[in-house]
Amino acid sequence: MRGEKRQAGEPENKEKIKQSALRLFSRYGYGSTTVRMIAKDAGLSAGQITVHYGSKEELYEQILLDIIHDTLTVFDPIEMEIEMLLNENRLDRDTAWRLIEKIIDLQIDYCLNPANRSKIMMMYIIVPESKKSEEMNAILQSTVQHKIEMMLAQLIQIYSQKKGYLRSRTISRAVNGAIVSFGEHRNLLLDEVYVGKHSPNSIEWMKGHLKDFVFNSIKAADAIDDF
């Protein structure tokens, strides 16, 4: 019976370890976060981390894999839709704008969810000195940042009907940076908005205002000439 109880709790303990590691990595960085800190935060022993993940580095890599998988799950269908529409010559200006709105809606909903703040902060961690971890971090960067930005830039270029690709990349980078900065800003997002300090509807107001700002910025940039 004891063995059965311990085995039944294994998936739960494994998830506890991962969530604790995610919080601590995003707060203190990889180097300053120890196995002992993770175990204490999870309420488990350091030995259980070894059993489930082998090492701190392997645990770190698993967290990156999860973030990459979650991102691909959300944005791969949009990328496939864009490719299909391009192949069928059906990606016109109106359709491009619809997809721009869809991407931005997803980004804002994700970044303004406090549960995702630690995942956002993972992109700024200095990786451990190993080839595998460096490769994993590069995949995270290319998946989370470049994949979304490149899709958005492509759609902005079609929407604006201007040929300057650098122009579209610049607008896309500015949009992504503006949205992600909210996810990074603990004082504003967690301490001001989610506590309902101003209004129970503060978060919906902020999402709506941010969406309007981004959409209007893209349309306003449409008037800027290519160089």
Instruction: Assess contact for 133 and 127: CB atoms under 8 A.
Output: yes
What pLDDT was estimated at residue 20? 97
Q: At which of 54, 72, 92 does a domain end?
A: 54
Q: How many domains does the chain fold into? A: 2
Q: Average pLDDT of 187-211?
A: 78
Question: What is the model's pTM?
Answer: 0.84
* 119-165 tens-digit pLDDT: 888 877 776 666 777 777 777 777 777 789 999 999 999 999 877 78
Instruction: Output Rg (C-alpha) for the chain, integer angstroms.
Output: 21
Tell me, yes or no, whether 124 and 31 share the same domain. no
* 22-75 tens-digit pLDDT: 999 999 988 899 999 999 999 999 999 999 999 999 999 999 999 989 888 999
Q: Which of 24-28, 84-88, 200-204, 207-211 has the lowest mean pLDDT?
A: 200-204
Q: Which domain holds residue 191?
A: 60-221
Does residue 184 lie in a domain region?
yes
What SS3 class is residue 151? helix
Q: Residue 141: how many CB atoms within 10 A of its CB?
A: 12
